[in-house]
Amino acid sequence: MKMNEVDRGARRDSARGKLANVFHLGVKELRSLARDVALLILIVWAFSLGVHTAATSMPESLHHASIGIVDEDRSQLSARIVDAFQPPYFRPPQMIDLNQMDRGMDAGIYTFTLNIPPNFQRDLLAGRKPSIQLNVDATQVSQAFSGAGYIQAIGASEVADFLRHYRASTSEAASLAMRVQFNPNLTRSWFGSVMEVINQITMLSIILTGAALIREREHGTVEHLLVMPVTPFEIMLAKVWSMGLVVLVAAALSLLLVVQGWLQVPIEGSLALFLLGAALHLFATTSMGIFFGTVARSMPQLGLLIILVLMPLQILSGGTTPRESMPELVQQIMLAAPTTHFVSLAQAILYRGAGLDIVWPQLLAITAIGSLFFLGALARFRRTLAQMA
Amino acid sequence: MNAAHAPVARLAGVTLEYGATRALDIAELTLPARCMVGLIGPDGVGKSSLLALVAGARQLQQGRVEVLDGDMANPSHRRRTCPNIAYMPQGLGKNLYPTLSVQENLDFFARLFGQGAEERARRIDHLLRSTGLAAFRERPAGKLSGGMKQKLGLCCALIHDPDLLILDEPTTGVDPLSRNHFWELIERIRQQRPQMSVLVATAYMEEAERFDHLVAMDAGRVLACGSPAQLRAAAGCASLEETFIALLPEEKRRQHQPLRITPRALAAGPAEIAIEARGLTCRFGDFVAVDAVDFRIERGEIFGFLGSNGCGKSTTMEMLTGLLAASEGEALLFGQAVDPRDMATRRRVGYMSQAFSLYSELTVRQNLVLHAQLFHVPTERIESRVAEMAERFELQKVMEALPERLPLGVRQRLSLAVAVIHGPEILILDEPTSGVDPIARDRFWQLMLDLSRNDGVTIFISTHFMNEAQRCDRISLMHAGKVLDSDTPQGLMDKRGLDSLEQTFVAYLQEAAGTDQPSDFAMPTAAPHTARPARFSLLRLFSYAWRESLELRRDPIRGSMALLGSVLLMFIIGYGISLDVEDLAFAVLDRDQTGSSQNYILNLSGSRYFIEQPPLRDHADLERRMRSGEISLALEIPPHFGRDIKRGASPEVGVWIDGSMPTRAETIKGYVQGMHAHYLQELAQRSPQAGQPSPASLEVRYRYNPDVESLKAMVPAVIPLLLMLIPAMLTALGVVREKELGSIINLYVTPVTRLEFLLGKQLPYIALGFLNCLLLVLLAVTLFDVPLKGSPLTLMLGGLLYVTCATGLGLLMSTFTRSQIAAVFGTAIATLVPAIQFSGLIYPVSSLEGLGAWIGQLYPTSHFLVISRGAFSKALGLGDLYGYFIPLLIAIPALTLLSANLLKKQER
């Protein structure tokens, strides 16, 4: 009986001791970070000017699209069509000939060229169904498709207007009433700013923890820790909470000051809920950082590894192009990345004002992935430490 | 005898300041030529700074330094004389390259000094044979023992027949036998080349005794100069060690008290055994580091561990602390087997490893507090305990300082304070006094004796100093993993019948190792270097390139990760970035429910762009499902839609689009409009009203990628992305790593110029990057079937220029950051965002705005992207694309010159 009591007491004591260790080691990480001025400047840059630049540089989807027009008709109608292409969607159309059309597209001067055939207006009125040719440079990913849709719509409506005017015919058979939800003017910076904050969160947390671990290994301080009554679990947890906290605070400030304050982006949903998601996401990414820190043997290897992982995370998580349009296989693979869930969670909360009742599946997924990563990293970390000494 | 020759160096009015502290203040100092000049003095008095100034490695702040008849402040004199000066910095093998073999390290230095292949081979051969390193030719420098590293460092210094050899504490941390070999070697070289002057800083007074001329220093000032005999006579002391103490200013001298060794009071009855090893063995693969070692150490005993470098002392200690698991046998602390998971025993042990391993980013106080906390010293007692330690180890004045800025002796005291803060019963100290000056060492020992005699702490210590070994209660001699003998120091000397412990030790070692007398030193005489080294030499550039490529080859993981990783990413990203928006989820609130409305819906659901979801029930349902992101498009078809159309009442279809992702929303808008137009057209055709002309049609042709295959369109854009990020990250650590690890010193003291250094480092990575480019293009064409319609030659030429830009950018990041973390982070920031977002991968550069537009127009990726797309998809050649080569051609020299400007040829 007595032994048991002593045992239990010791266990309670050691649990408190463990927490204290995690806390003190984490404070040590924060103090170390505070000494690296260059790194602090880079962090501040990433979350302020970095976010601002990325947000404000992004064009509205059809913005300043370059178009060249070969007008072989030179009729009233063709002039109307040419005039319909207006800034800011299009650059003033360049009137060119057929020769220039091919060369211009080859050199990438025109993303679109429109060829209005001779006698277009006459044929139209005669009901001969003439057709306009639209050439699209399909290598210009972002503009090619939406631009083509726009130009088609513009062409059709000009033709219809012209006919209606000419014939004084009745109105359209049916009309559309379009409403864009959550971002009525489709302001690109709303999207770009928040996605950039997310990119910075992922990048910074992975680099900070991974590099902090490699630095401790290169300077021999990990070995020093291991002769003290500290376990690998505590060392790792300390790094996770401290680096996670730094990034979380930076991200929160960035959202409040840069995104909401400077860029005037309205945030729909609950910032607190978003930060909860961010904290869980950071748990996963800092674990990833630790994992890379154990896989790489030196800083040069770590740098390369991080770049190789960050690139797909940034491009394929749904923050750059829509996820549903990616090939099935890529979609499935990217489900294993915490960023995918985090991006969709962030979009739901910040733009669409979704609440916990809607985003709980994402929260759950991030927690599950984070726990897996954490356990995997811990196992590896334990093994490397055993080999290292 | 020295008067006949001009002095080798002359200093006048030299001061050197680091921040607020004055490191050097020398009014006048002349160093004679053709002899051994020793610098002696406590740690942190400016010996190293003085040597660095003389070597030209550190920038002169004030005053005049003349070396070999010229002003060292004059760059052209430095360039002329640096082939005549050899400098070996402090720290074991600090200027060597650990992954390169002995032979390769020497070869590298020989190339830097412009020696031909035949001359190199001959010299390396001689040096290796005369130093006894010939057997280790192929061993990587990082795997040599401390003594061998120092010998290799010396060989590297001697490869070019210097007239002035500068050695900064060359024998610190080196065992006595190797130390003897080292000085014999220098002696033989001097006999061969009497014109050579040697300048040495040392902490060993026994060594200083051998020198011709000594300079005693303290607090950045010169205290006295002269031969050892002169100095001793002037101070009236018998030994140099006493002389040195006598020379110190009054207040410092008072701090020093001769060490009193109190004998250990032996307890009655059987003593308690604190540490015990039974057949302790450790193997690394085939190599037996520790071979069946036995010893028993009583409580309160000071037990010394002596042995040559790499004999297994540190390994034994690591097994005792539980850092390393024993392969065989067992280690017992207080009669219990060492268990690495047992936190309770860890609390009873204090350990100080060979290398300084405290946190250099934390202040002295923070380090002490952190360790007290981790050892669970009760919170209320931490403050008093830290104060107590500070007092006992005399750290009060430096409590708020960072350890990096402290002299080695103080740092070692801090390490010891940290090791005992939790009041351990056992102390395991691995060479705690290596590199510490005699006074500080005595104080250190006073503390240890105090702990042992008064507090009953058991101390297990390894050392290379014989006078320290003499102070131990018992010592063990170790060699090649085996304990040769254990006894009291006197007992061992008696066994051999020798007077000094050093002789005894050397005798033991020679018996165990067999005598290996290095062959006679006979350096082939080289043509004297009279010619001033060229301002730019391809040979030196190539020697850096050769070395860098060797290091790259030694780390195959990095190279293969770059190549394989890029191929994998080309596939995933090329495949994953979707050109068009498709498979969009939409749902309909159909209030009409007639054939007409279903017809209208079919327009959407029948296309590949949209996938229909279960119908919407009401507006609340619409709201909820759109908010959750389940659908991105909702339609509401009004009641009587079909009827109204037939009547010509123009019904209005409601459309809701999720605008949270603007690109997608724009595209959806475009699609819906197109679809609606199409519906109206069909309606018109079917309309019974004759004479209604069908409107004109708009034919869309997607050029350059008519089938709209994602991979084929994206691969030409992804290749530039990969070829920016990966090569830049490969070079990003090139310079900053040398700064952190110390080999940057070779840039300071060898004839290599900044441009040669940078270009030499860049070349191998350009080659790797180009290979990467070739591989990606090849796989794109063969495996992924992406047609290369234009000129392959143009593409490869562009690729070559482009990877040169990328590696140049990485080097630029590397030259201006100070830590490796900052370099990695900085490079990630400088490449990821501009390459992905501002270079036309997704949005054309022409439509960007603000700062992004500027970056996009300047950034190399934008230009190579046009070249790549032109060559792949648009069948273009050099004639069409030459305009895009020009910015790359400008960027290459601009980046390199910027880096060269930021890089310093001397330390500041």
pLDDT of residue B785: 84
Is B525 part of any domain? no
| A67-167 topology per CATH | abc type-2 transporter like fold (3.40.1710)
Smallest Cα–Cα separation from A133: which of A91, A72, A74, A84?
Answer: A72
B553 with B622, same domain: the answer is no
Mean pLDDT of the residues in chain A: 83
Residue from the list B562, B704, B838 with its beta carbon closest to the beta carbon of A138: B704
Residue from the list A159, A199, A300 with its beta carbon closest to the beta carbon of B696: A159
pLDDT of residue B578: 66
Which of A51, A228, A292 to mutate against chain B (most B CBs within 10 Å)?
Answer: A228
For residue A4, name the pLDDT band (cuts at 50, 70, 90): very low
pLDDT of residue A286: 94
Residue segments in chain B with a per-residue pLDDT below the cut of 50: 1-3, 518-519, 521, 527-530, 690-693
Q: Which of A158-172, A208-222, B379-393 has the lowest mean pLDDT?
A: A158-172
pLDDT of residue A61: 59
B682 with B715, same domain: the answer is no
Residue from the list B821, B828, B856 with its beta carbon closest to the beta carbon of A36: B821
Give CA–CA dist B543/B541, Å, rounded: 5
CB contact under 8 A, B729 and A307: yes
Residue A357 has pLDDT above 90, yes or no: no
CA distance B355 to chain A (A): 8
Residue A78 has pLDDT above 60, yes or no: yes
Encoded tokens for B775: 């591989």
Give CA–CA dist B570/A332, Å, rounded: 18
Length of chain B equals: 908
B745 with B815, same domain: the answer is yes
Residues of chain B contacting residue A172, judged by C-beta atoms under 8 Å apart: 650, 680
Residue from the list A21, A28, A153 with its beta carbon closest to the beta carbon of B677: A153
CB contact under 8 A, A130 and B557: no
CATH code (residue B134): 3.40.50.300
pLDDT of residue B550: 92
| DSSP letter (8 states) at residue B606 | T
Q: Is B650 on the interface with A (CB under 8 A)?
A: yes
Is B388 part of any domain? yes
Residue A7 has pLDDT above 60, yes or no: no
Q: Is B705 on the interface with A (CB under 8 A)?
A: yes
Residue of chain B with shortest Cα separation from A122 = B696
**Between B515 and A77, whose confidence is greater?**
A77
Give CA–CA dist A360/A378, Å, rounded: 26
CB contact under 8 A, A134 and B733: no
Q: Which of B513, B528, B556 is the last residue of a domain?
A: B513
pLDDT of residue B731: 93
Domain map (residue ranges) of chain A:
21-57+187-388, 67-167
CB contact under 8 A, B359 and A32: yes
B96 with B220, same domain: the answer is yes
pLDDT of residue A388: 54
Residues of chain A contacting residue B697, judged by C-beta atoms under 8 Å apart: 129, 131-132
Q: Is B695 on the interface with A (CB under 8 A)?
A: yes
B640 with B720, same domain: the answer is no
Residue A389 has pLDDT above 50, yes or no: no
CB contact under 8 A, B846 and A66: yes
Residues of chain B contacting residue A307, judged by C-beta atoms under 8 Å apart: 725-726, 729, 828, 831-832
Residue A167 has pLDDT above 60, yes or no: no
Boundaries of domain holding B542: 538-574+709-902
Is B826 part of any domain? yes
Is B846 part of any domain? yes
CB contact under 8 A, B585 and A324: yes
B840 with B880, same domain: the answer is yes
B189 with B297, same domain: the answer is no
Residues of chain B contacting residue A314, judged by C-beta atoms under 8 Å apart: 832, 836
Smallest Cα–Cα separation from B735: which of B727, B743, B723, B724?
Answer: B743
Q: Is B641 on the interface with A (CB under 8 A)?
A: yes
Residue B477 near residue B304 (C-beta atoms within 8 A): no
CA distance A278 to chain B (A): 18
Is B305 part of any domain? yes
B457 with B438, same domain: the answer is yes
CA distance A78 to chain B (A): 12
Q: How many domains does chain B have?
A: 4
Residue A374 has pLDDT above 90, yes or no: yes
Map chain A to HEC letters. Answer: CHHHHHHHHHHHHHHHHHHHHHHHHHHHHHHHHHHCHHHHHHHHHHHCHHHHHHHHHCCCCCCCECEEEEECCCCHHHHHHHHHCCCCCECCCEECCHHHHHHHHHCCCCCEEEEECCCHHHHHHCCCCCEEEEEEECCCHHHHHHHHHHHHHHHHHHHHHHHHHHHCCCCCCCEEEEEEECCCCCCHHHHHHHHHHHHHHHHHHHHHHHHHHHHHHHCCHHHHHHCCCCCHHHHHHHHHHHHHHHHHHHHHHHHHHHHHHHCCCCCCCCHHHHHHHHHHHHHHHHHHHHHHHHHCCCHHHHHHHHHHHHHHHHHHCCCCCCHHHCCHHHHHHHCCCHHHHHHHHHHHHHHCCCCHHHHHHHHHHHHHHHHHHHHHHHHHHHHHHHHHC
Is B837 part of any domain? yes
pLDDT of residue A166: 64
Residue of chain B with shortest Cα separation from A188 = B662
CB contact under 8 A, A191 and B661: yes
**Between A200 and B145, whose confidence is greater?**
A200
Residues of chain A contacting residue B637, judged by C-beta atoms under 8 Å apart: none
Is B63 part of any domain? yes
Q: Is B401 on the interface with A (CB under 8 A)?
A: no
CA distance B570 to chain A (A): 10
Residues of chain B contacting residue A224, judged by C-beta atoms under 8 Å apart: 351, 353, 357-358
Is B699 part of any domain? no
Residues of chain B contacting residue A354, judged by C-beta atoms under 8 Å apart: 627-629
